[in-house]
Structure 1
Amino acid sequence: MIIRRLTPKDLSAFRALWADGLMRVPTAFLFSAEEVRAIPNRDVERGLEVNMTLGAFDDAKRLVGFVSARRGGPQRMRHMADIGPLYVRADAQGRGFGRALMEAVLQQLIDAGVQQAELVVDVENTGAQKLYRALGFHAFGKRPRAVLIEGTGRDDLLMIKALDGTDLTRGA
């Protein structure tokens, strides 16, 4: 297994894997397949340059998973980062790629001085929630009807992890 930052040279493989994820697990993504197809390649390449997007490659050097993280934009929010989406191909699940991607992105955030990481996960995605909890995330809220998929509201669980040892559960 190889985990590394994706670059614009990975555009084709990244877009193909993103499309696979949108087809198989549309609730794991904010954008719809139509919206993703409409994003010009130059914009996706720019996202790969600006955001921290890590890819997991199997022994055949095939991209089988990815995770993205975006640091807060304004100076007063630079201490935190949003993680997501995380996606691993169906035929590569259960082999540690998701955990390895999350551990790698968390370490890179720590190395960059980020103090906390946040993510959202569909309330029905218990497998992902189990992974996030095992990595030290805890729920701090629920966003009802966070997204509408084909007219049906889906709730998101909000999760957070302190990367600097602070107890973020105080008062929760």
Structure 2
Amino acid sequence: MNETKSGDITIRPLNEHDAEAFHAMRLYATQNYPAGVVPTYEEESKRTPEESRGVVRATDDRIVFGAFAGDKLVGITGLMRDPRRKLAHKGLVWGVFVDPEWRGAGIARQLMDAAIARARVLGLLQVQLVVSVSNPRAQALYRSCGFLRYGVEPRGLCIDGEYADDELMVRFLDGPMRN
């Protein structure tokens, strides 16, 4: 997938050369926004450089997009699909995060647009995501991108002994339910 530019921001798939910046952003997110990232800081900090390279290495079923201001990584999101035949019609958006200094500039939407565009290229019929109900800003973004709530997982996250429900969302990319 080619990179796209909007203003001073470039959205493109990450590659192995971006692994260190990706890992640093994930560590920052785990420490400062625990409701938006599943791994804890301790879990994420155990990831080896090779594991980080593996995460950002695009495959037929997985890709991570980055938002860049010049050479600086300022946002990330991933898209993956299960390659098993009965599940291969749907994808999962994961790990959406934008550096707080760059929020409000439409970067998260650009990342979501890139993930959805890739889902269409893959021929996916729907894209799903999970968002904590304690993250209303993210919920609003996903709704504005056409995602619909299809369920709630009670106590989906446990952060330092406190539970938060997860909202399950879907965006259909085909047919009469298309949105």
**TM-score normalised by length of structure 2:** 0.89
**Structure 2 partner of 1:125:** 135
Cross-structure match for 2:24: 16
Contact 2:31 2:40 in 1 (8 A): no
Moved more, 68-77 or 116-125: 68-77
Q: Which amino acid in 2 is paired with 1:48?
A: V
Aligned-partner SS, 2:22 = helix
Give matches, 1:13-52, under 5 Å: 13-49=21-57, 50=59, 51-52=62-63
Q: Which residue identity is paired with 1:54?
A: F
CA distance in structure 1 between the partners assigned to 2:150 and 2:29 by the alignment: 26
Unmatched 5+ stretches in structure 2: 1-8
Partner residue, 1:4? 12
3-state SS of 1:139 partner: strand
CA RMSD of aligned residues (A): 1.4
For residues 165 and 13 of structure 1, the distance between their equivalents in structure 2, rounded to whole angstroms, comes to 39
How far is the alpha carbon of 1:165 from its aligned partner? Answer: 3.6
Instruction: Give % identity.
Output: 30
Q: Which runs of 4+ in 1 moved over 3 A?
A: none
User: TM-score with structure 1 length normalisation?
Assistant: 0.93
Q: What does 1:64-143 align with in structure 2 at a 5 Å threshold?
A: 64-143=74-153
Matched, 1:55 2:63: no
2:3 alignment counterpart: none
- Structure-2 separation of matches of 1:72 and 1:108: 15
In proportion to residue count, which structure has more helix?
1
TM-superposed CA distance for 1:73, in Å, is 2.9
Contact kept in structure 1, 2:30 and 2:37, CA below 8 Å: yes
